[in-house]
Structure 1
Amino acid sequence: MTAAAYARDLVNKILPNKVEAERKPNEFLSDAYEILENIECIERNRYLSELTRWITQ
């Protein structure tokens, strides 16, 4: 019972606009996906560059 009252009091101290300002999980996932795509692009370009250099030697 005490824990529930403490939790309720704690939740009441959180400002609603603070919660709304937080980033949503799908925003993090979107950023992570974009970063992963960039890494894959960099790796692919590096591979193609190495392959081109090997072929032209």
Structure 2
Amino acid sequence: MPVVSTFALILVLIAIGRVLHWRGWVPGNAADVLNLVVLHVCLPAAILLYAPRLAFERELI
């Protein structure tokens, strides 16, 4: 993805979050819940997905 489209996607997602919060469709603790989901679901899944692909070499030390 080019840098400009990635930046635009981030801005669009921030705007969507602001609108959802402004309309009252998102509870006040939504950020805490999303952080816990990332910490307990997404991070372990990424580790399990990418850890077998790592090549441990002497130069890394």
- TM-score, normalised via structure 1 length: 0.41
* Higher relative contact order structure (alpha carbons within 8 Å, sequence separation ≥ 6): 2
- TM-score, normalised via structure 2 length: 0.38
Q: Which has the larger radius of gyration?
A: 1
